[in-house]
């Protein structure tokens, strides 16, 4: 594979994350506007609870997506799985765009919304494993951490893009009434069109050399073969546990925490969260490059130590922050600690498995852990606050980080696995 082909493959392999996470979070960002279109008129809170429940259902589909797309990637190729994944996300967004409201088709409207989110959940669950595997296989060995880090750059950029589209529509293009009437369909339409463009871009991707050789040799994959790698599966789960809880705490939940606990306004909270996320995204390549020099295990241990012993004091300090700048500094500091995990988590997991089960080995245990712990992090945080014991959640995040620390301490350096396959 030439340098140009390699770079094109890395862009194609990571760009889908931006579009898929944009589509995924557009739903959450615009739910306030489209909730009444899909559910009976009446209590707005009930409508929002219904949309939130459907959002949660999408999380439950991610392990199924990881399983299906992982098998597809290991059997028919990384490019095939990535193409199917982006088309599925496109289909889900397009269904939401064209679906008539409850006032026209009744209960069929929320049913279509559920089906669309199920499809998107499958897509998102499969995208991570396939892209992580592909990036780890096409990146040059000496810079695999650096190039693989762009998976989280595009992931966070997808979240930011959804937020930017919302802000532009709110303050520049449309009135609140227009957004509620029809404007909420526009961001889903943008996502569908962008998905098509990524699909065409991915058609010209070159398959990784490792997969091509594995297919030529007749190596078989699947769940039966994957079951031989129990230690590696537990490693993926252990590393993901602390990483996903911390990520969702300081990204998704943080915007609400800044309002409910710190006391910032909604506008200030959005500004702090968006700015910190931008810094977080830009930091990923630096930490990825650092892992190429000092090793992945060093960074993962650093994340475990910082998360285990730093979460409680940092959250206490943040709860007492007064003003935008102190809040921004503390949130950014937290995200820098999380970067020691996010920047390299994809490549570390990919390096645990041989080619024949790499995509499935990464995707399925990762998606399962994210669904159980990442998807519930915000709910647990809000439950602890409602119960009057918000500090319990701080200790919960610390305990999850401790699990990742223990996993990292016993992590074997498997960076040579892919190099050995390259040399075979």
**pLDDT at residue 224, rounded to an integer:** 67
Beta carbons of 285 and 146 less than 8 angstroms apart: yes
Asked if pLDDT for residue 419 goes beyond 70, the answer is no
Contacts of 67 (CB under 8 A, 6+ apart): 125, 223, 360, 363, 364, 367
Q: What is the pLDDT of residues 63-121, one digit of tens each?
A: 888 888 888 888 888 888 888 888 888 999 999 899 888 788 888 888 888 888 888 88
* Banded model confidence at residue 306, pLDDT cuts 50, 70, 90: very high
Q: What is the pLDDT of residues 156-197, one digit of tens each?
A: 888 888 888 888 887 788 888 888 888 889 999 999 998 888
* Banded model confidence at residue 304, pLDDT cuts 50, 70, 90: very high
Region 291-301: mean pLDDT is 90
Asked if pLDDT for residue 394 goes beyond 60, the answer is yes
**pLDDT at residue 202, rounded to an integer:** 77
All domains of the chain, ordered by start, with CATH? Answer: 3-423 (1.20.1250.20)
Beta carbons of 157 and 93 less than 8 angstroms apart: no
Structure pTM? 0.81
**pLDDT at residue 125, rounded to an integer:** 81
**pLDDT at residue 16, rounded to an integer:** 76
Q: SS in 3 state form for the chain?
A: CCHHHHHHHHHHHHHHHHHHHHHHHHHHHHHHHHHHHHCCCCCHHHHHHHHHHHHHHHHHCHHHHHHHHHHHHHHHCHHHHHHHHHHHHHHHHHHHHHCCCHHHHCCHHHHHHHHHHHHHHHHHHHHHHHHHHHHHHHCCHHHHHHHHCHHHHHHHHHHHHHHHHHHHHHHHHCCHHHHHHHHCHHHHHHHHHHHHHHHHHHCCCCCCHHHHHHHHHCCCCCHHHHCCCHHHHHHHHHHHHHHHHHHHHHHHHHHHHHHHHHCCCHHHHHHHHHHHHHHHHHHHHHHHHHHHHHCHHHHHHHHHHHHHHHHHHHHHHHHCCCCHHHHHHHHHHHHHHHHHHHCCHHHHHHCCCCHHHHHHHHHHHHHHHHHHHHCCHHHHHHHHHHCCCCHHHHHHHHHHHHHHHHHHHCCCCCCHHHHHHHHC
Beta carbons of 363 and 66 less than 8 angstroms apart: yes
Q: What is the pLDDT of residues 127-140, one digit of tens each?
A: 877 887 887 777 77
Distance CA 303, CA 143 (A): 21
Residue with tokens 């429940």: 53
Burial of 122 by CB count in 10 Å (0-12 exposed, 13-18 middle, 19+ buried)? buried
> Could you tell me which residue, 56 or 90, shows the higher pLDDT?
90
**pLDDT at residue 190, rounded to an integer:** 92
Contacts of 255 (CB under 8 A, 6+ apart): 269, 270, 273
């Amino acid at each position: 594979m030439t340098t140009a082909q390699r770079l094109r493959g890395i862009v194609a392999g990571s760009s889908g994350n931006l579009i898929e996470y944009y589509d995924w979070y557009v739903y959450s960002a615009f739910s306030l506007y489209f909730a009444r279109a899909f559910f009976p008129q009446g209590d707005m809170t009930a409508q929002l609870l219904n949309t939130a429940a459907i959002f949660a259902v999408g999380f439950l589909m991610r392990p199924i997506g990881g399983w299906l797309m992982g098998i597809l990637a290991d059997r028919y190729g990384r490019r095939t799985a990535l193409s199917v994944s982006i088309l599925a996300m496109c289909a889900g967004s397009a269904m939401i765009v064209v679906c008539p409201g409850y006032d026209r088709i009744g209960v069929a409207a929320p049913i279509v919304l559920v089906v669309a989110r199920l499809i998107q959940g499958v897509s998102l669950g499969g995208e991570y494993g396939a892209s992580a595997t592909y990036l780890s296989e096409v990146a040059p060995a000496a810079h695999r951490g650096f190039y693989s880090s762009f998976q989280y750059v595009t992931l966070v950029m997808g979240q930011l893009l959804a937020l930017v589209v919302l802000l532009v529509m709110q303050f520049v293009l449309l009135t609140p009434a227009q957004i509620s009437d029809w404007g909420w369909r526009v961001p889903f339409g943008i996502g569908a069109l962008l998905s098509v463009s990524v699909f065409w871009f991915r058609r010209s991707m070159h398959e990784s050399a490792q997969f091509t050789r594995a297919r030529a040799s007749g190596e078989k994959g699947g769940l039966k073969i994957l079951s031989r790698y129990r230690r590696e599966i537990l490693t993926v789960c252990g590393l993901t546990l602390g990483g996903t809880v911390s990520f969702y705490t300081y990204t998704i939940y943080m915007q609400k925490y800044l309002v409910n606990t710190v006391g910032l306004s909604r506008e200030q909270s959005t500004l702090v969260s968006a700015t910190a996320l931008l810094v977080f995204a830009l930091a990923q390549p630096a930490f990825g490059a650092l892992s190429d020099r000092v090793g992945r295990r060093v960074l993962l241990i650093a994340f475990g130590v910082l998360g285990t012993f730093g979460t409680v004091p940092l959250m206490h300090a943040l709860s007492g922050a007064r003003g935008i700048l102190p809040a921004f500094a503390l949130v950014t500091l937290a995200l820098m600690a999380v970067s020691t995990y996010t920047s390299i988590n994809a490549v570390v997991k990919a390096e645990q498995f041989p080619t024949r089960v790499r995509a499935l080995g990464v995707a399925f245990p990762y998606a399962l852990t994210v669904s159980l712990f990442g998807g519930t992090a915000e709910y647990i945080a809000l439950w602890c606050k409602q119960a009057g014991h918000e500090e319990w959640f701080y200790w919960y995040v610390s305990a999850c980080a401790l699990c990742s620390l223990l996993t990292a301490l016993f992590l074997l350096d498997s960076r040579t696995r892919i190099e050995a396959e390259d040399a075979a």
